[in-house]
């Protein structure tokens, strides 16, 4: 993190760790960990372990390169131990074999970051209050700095110094285009970004401002938008071109990204789509851009195209072709999680506003080096319709708290249950902090916008509300609440992150988990990357997936086809099948009922119950561990028995058939109880057999043919 302008990594250095936090807190001055929230991510093998360890009050283990998982070593650490850095950050030791995209490795030890309580957000339900609608005749909000709020109206820039103060004209605008950004530079001047040009001032604050154009959009329909730039430190700044349309139908106008490293005096094209993608730059589409002063890195986002991704470059001036896509994230090889528009650096990471069905707030976690950066889910926008509800259009960072506020475009005016909204995040957690009522929603147009937003020097949020087909704009204004903490109903770490694309109505879809997707009516997906892709299907577990309607897959990487049920790790069930096992693929068969470990089933319409059962012929039934049914329609009831002949039935332990149509018992006895009355006449060709008690130790074994004639075998006591 930056301290007095000095850039350091977001994670503490090895030497900055203070000690393990346990019962030695009193001697080290560290706070106890009993009330600290659980880790943001948890490996299944880690979840059951104790969250902390007890230590001798005189001990103090240094968290440095000498840490070891080896029991008995002087600096031994175990899964579940808590480490605290001198800057107050908490980490929890993960198992040595843990695999998770949120892991950090320091000194050879795998660590989970433990979020600390957040301040500055206010309660989730109403962090911004006193929201009110204002006239559209006031200057449009641009930004705030130097104790002033700046706005634009009628070709002029205005400022105001307080909530009740009047707007005062500052100077003429650089050109006739709308101003989308105004950034103070280290030399006392400002850079103004209009919708078509980048301008540097001269004489700012001296009463006679002039402007010099430094760069202009290069594509025919390209523009600069509020999310085209973020994160200037007064010396470095980056601005990207945006164009609407589609592949080779407008996107080809979104070509270049400009940056400065001398307070806006000179600008260089540091990203050129035509050079980077010479054979397909018409299928490129620049979204947001930012400079991250915390790690001295520039970012460009490509959205919706074959080149989509979040790209970084530590020195684009010297290496304009050296852009690297972030590949670490919840979906594995990251393309562009949420396909963000806004990208805003802050103290705890980089905040991203989505433009995809995986909608809401995403983030980038910094690492020891830029190559260690990871994309992570922060909060899902829980909309009630399929597809993309909208996208982040503008942003404002509160320099006092590091909170980033995001104003969203809304694609669906008619959705009263998805009102206009403002989201907020500190880079670790986030949520919705304001939702508009009917008075703030424009009455026409096919989309609503929070088109501009700013945090004022006097502690309010000011934002513009507009619609595509409505003349003018409405203003909302709300005061930020005191630092009352973060509501328990928020969604830290993307626990409820996912894309819900079901039909609107009583049976709409639900997805919960990083990268999860429920894409049909009545579908439910729960777990990281769980996919419920068909109507009335349910996928529960990391990587669980349905591949047919009315199917249910439960377990990590389980998969179920039409009307099938798969339960267990890596278990796959075909159509109309029930398979409960582990690491068994029966997706090629249908009509299967299989329960047990290590099932071997190679034919349709069979039943296998028990560990290591083997059913390799049609219509077979195996009940009993290690049993086999290899004959056609063979039936087995018993442990380690085999029906190896067609239509054979074996009953008992270790029984093996020797002929077709055989019913064979093992080393067993048969017990018959006399019926209360003689059975009726059997079907043609059949006999009924039953025991008849004569009393006094005597009995008969009786037979009845299909003509009603009874036969008997008399029995007396031995």
Domain membership flag for residue 127: no
Per the CB < 8 A criterion, the answer to whether 595 and 606 are in contact is no
Q: What is the pLDDT of residue 558?
A: 93
- The contacts found for 299-306 with CB under 8 angstroms, 24 or more apart, are 299/238, 299/343, 299/350, 300/238, 300/240, 300/257, 300/271, 301/336, 301/339, 301/340, 301/341, 301/343, 302/336, 303/336, 303/339, 303/340, 303/341, 303/355, 304/339, 304/355, 305/247, 305/251, 306/280
Q: What is the pTM of this model?
A: 0.58
Helix (H, G, I), strand (E, B) or coil at 289: strand
Domain count for the chain, please give it: 2
Token digits of residue 306: 């074959």
Which has the higher per-residue pLDDT, 558 or 694? 558
pLDDT, one tens digit per residue, over 77-127 is 887 777 765 545 566 777 777 654 445 666 677 776 554 333 333 333 334
Domain membership flag for residue 91: yes
Q: What is the pLDDT of residue 77?
A: 80
Select from 116, 133, 162 the last residue of a domain.
116
Domain membership flag for residue 60: yes
**Dist CA 124 CA 240 (whole Å):** 33
Neighbours of 223 (CB within 10 A): 19
Residue 420 has pLDDT above 80, yes or no: no
What's the pLDDT band for 186 if we cut at 50, 70, 90?
Answer: very high
Averaged pLDDT for residues 144-157: 93
17-26, 295-304, 622-631: range with lowest mean pLDDT:
17-26
- The parent domain of residue 93 ranges over 1-116
Q: What is the pLDDT of residue 234?
A: 94
Domain membership flag for residue 683: yes
Domain membership flag for residue 107: yes
Token digits of residue 120: 């500055």
Domain membership flag for residue 212: no
Percent of the chain residues topping a pLDDT of 70: 72
Kindly report the three-state secondary structure assignment for every residue of 223-271: ECCHHHCCCCCCCCEEEECECCCCCCCCHHHCCEEEEECCCCCCCEEEE
Q: What is the pLDDT of residue 514?
A: 62
Per the CB < 8 A criterion, the answer to whether 537 and 545 are in contact is no
Domain membership flag for residue 8: yes
Q: What is the pLDDT of residue 483?
A: 35
Token digits of residue 128: 């911004």
Domain membership flag for residue 614: no
Select from 116, 137, 167 the last residue of a domain.
116
Q: Of how many residues is the chain composed?
A: 718
Select from 116, 151, 176 the last residue of a domain.
116
Q: What is the pLDDT of residue 236?
A: 97
Per the CB < 8 A criterion, the answer to whether 218 and 256 are in contact is yes
What's the pLDDT band for 69 if we cut at 50, 70, 90?
Answer: confident
Residue 40 has pLDDT above 70, yes or no: no
Helix (H, G, I), strand (E, B) or coil at 303: coil
Backbone phi, psi, residue 581, to 5°: -165, -160
Kindly report the three-state secondary structure assignment for every residue of 553-622: EECCCCEECCCCEEECCCCEECCCCEEECCCCEECCCCCCEEECCCCEECCCCCEEECCCCEECCCCCEE
């Amino acid at each position: 993190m930056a301290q007095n302008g000095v850039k350091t990594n977001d994670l503490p250095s090895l030497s900055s760790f203070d000690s393990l936090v346990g019962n030695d807190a009193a001697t080290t001055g560290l706070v106890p960990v009993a009330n600290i929230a659980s880790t943001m991510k948890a490996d299944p093998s880690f979840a059951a372990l104790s969250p902390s360890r007890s230590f001798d009050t005189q001990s103090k283990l240094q968290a440095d390169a000498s840490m070891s998982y080896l029991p008995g070593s002087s600096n031994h650490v175990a899964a579940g131990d808590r480490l605290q850095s001198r800057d107050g950050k908490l980490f929890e030791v993960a198992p040595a074999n843990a695999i998770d995209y949120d892991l950090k490795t320091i000194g050879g030890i795998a660590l989970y970051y433990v979020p600390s309580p957040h301040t500055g957000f206010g309660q989730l339900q109403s962090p911004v209050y006193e929201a009110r609608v204002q006239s559209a005749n006031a200057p449009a909000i641009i930004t705030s700095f130097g104790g002033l709020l700046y706005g634009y109206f009628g070709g002029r820039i205005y400022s105001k110094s307080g909530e009740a103060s009047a707007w005062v004209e500052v100077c003429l605008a650089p050109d006739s285009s709308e101003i989308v950004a105004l950034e103070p530079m280290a030399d006392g001047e400002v850079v103004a970004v209009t919708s078509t040009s980048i301008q540097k001032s001269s004489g700012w604050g001296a009463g006679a401002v002039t402007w010099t154009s430094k760069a202009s959009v290069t594509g025919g329909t390209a523009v600069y938008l509020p999310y085209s730039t973020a994160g200037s430190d007064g010396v470095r700044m980056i601005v990207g071109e945006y164009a609407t349309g589609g592949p080779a139908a407008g996107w080809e106008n979104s070509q270049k990204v400009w940056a400065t490293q001398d307070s806006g005096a000179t600008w260089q094209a540091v990203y050129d789509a035509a050079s980077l993608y010479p054979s397909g730059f018409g299928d490129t589409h620049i979204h947001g851009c930012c400079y991250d002063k915390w790690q001295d890195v520039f970012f460009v986002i490509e959205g919706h195209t074959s080149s989509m991704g979040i790209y970084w470059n530590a020195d684009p001036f010297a290496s304009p072709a050296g852009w690297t896509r972030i590949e670490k994230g919840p979906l594995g090889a990251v393309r562009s999680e949420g396909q963000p528009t806004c990208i805003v650096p802050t103290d705890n990471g980089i905040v991203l506003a989505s433009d995809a069905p995986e909608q809401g707030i995403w983030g980038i976690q910094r690492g020891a080096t830029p190559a260690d950066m990871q994309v992570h889910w922060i909060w899902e926008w829980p909309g009630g319709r399929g597809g993309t509800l909208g996208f982040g259009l503008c942003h404002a960072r509160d320099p006092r708290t590091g909170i980033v506020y995001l104003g969203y475009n809304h694609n669906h005016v008619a959705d009263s249950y998805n009102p206009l909204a403002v989201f907020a995040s500190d880079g670790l957690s986030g949520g919705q902090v304001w939702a508009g009522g009917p008075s703030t929603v424009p009455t026409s147009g096919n989309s609503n916008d929070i088109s501009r937003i700013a945090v004022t020097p006097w502690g309010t949020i000011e934002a513009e509300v507009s619609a595509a087909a409505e003349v003018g704009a409405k203003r909302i204004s709300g005061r930020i609440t005191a630092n009352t903490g973060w509501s328990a109903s928020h969604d830290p770490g993307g626990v409820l992150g996912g894309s819900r694309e079901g039909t609107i109505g009583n049976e709409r879809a639900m997805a919960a988990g990083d990268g999860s997707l429920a894409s049909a009516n009545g579908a439910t997906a729960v777990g990281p990357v769980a996919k419920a892709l068909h109507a009335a299907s349910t996928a529960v577990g990391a990587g669980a997936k349905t591949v047919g309607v009315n199917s249910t897959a439960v377990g990590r990487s389980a998969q179920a086809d039409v009307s099938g049920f798969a339960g267990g790790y890596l278990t796959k069930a075909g159509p109309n099948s029930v398979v409960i096992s582990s690491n068994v693929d029966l997706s090629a068969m249908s009509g299967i009922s299989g329960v047990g470990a290590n099932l071997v089933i190679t034919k349709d319409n069979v039943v296998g119950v028990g560990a290591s059962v083997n059913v390799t012929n049609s219509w077979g039934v195996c009940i009993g561990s290690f049993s086999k049914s290899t004959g056609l329609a063979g039936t087995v009831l018993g442990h380690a028995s085999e029906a190896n002949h067609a239509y054979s039935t074996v009953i008992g332990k270790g029984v093996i058939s020797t002929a077709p149509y055989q019913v064979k018992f093992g080393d067993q006895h048969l017990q018959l109880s006399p019926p209360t009355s003689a059975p009726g006449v059997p079907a043609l060709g059949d006999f009924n057999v039953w025991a008849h008690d004569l009393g006094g130790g005597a009995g008969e074994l009786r037979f009845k043919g299909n003509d009603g004639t009874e036969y008997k075998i008399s029995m007396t006591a031995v």
